[in-house]
Every structure is written in structure tokens, then in C-alpha cells.
Amino acid sequence: MKNKLFETSESYAPLFLRVILGLVILMHGMQKLFGCFGGLGFSKTMLFFY
């Protein structure tokens, strides 16, 4: 089981999927924290949760 978890793939498909998913998560975080891409920014996001 451990070997299956840590083995690498010769394909580039998982790499591209991880990069794309990482960019999506990065953009979402920047939107919430800094107000980029039409987001509210940190202070207004925290006020939303009250």
C-alpha cells in the first residue's frame, strides 16, 4: 500500500492537473485575502462571517 502511494507516474497528465488545480486554489485564496479578481479582501470577508 505504501509503495502504491509513493510511486511516480511517467505521464505528464497528473502534473498538468496538479498545476491547474493549484492555480485555481491560489486564485481563490488571493481573492479572499487580497481582494484580487473581484474579491472583497480580508476585512470584508471576515465581516461576512459575522
Per-residue model confidence as pLDDT tens digits over 2-30: 888 888 888 899 899 999 999 999 999 99
CB count within 10 Å of CB 31 equals 16
Q: What is the pLDDT of residues 26-41, one digit of tens each?
A: 999 999 999 998 888 9
Of 25 and 50, which is predicted with more confidence? 25
For residue 5, the model assigns a pLDDT of 80
pTM: 0.71
Q: What is the pLDDT, as a whole number, of residue 2?
A: 82
Alpha helices per DSSP H over the chain: 2-6, 13-34, 42-48
Query: For residues 25 and 50, what is the distance between their CA atoms, to the nearest angstrom?
Result: 24
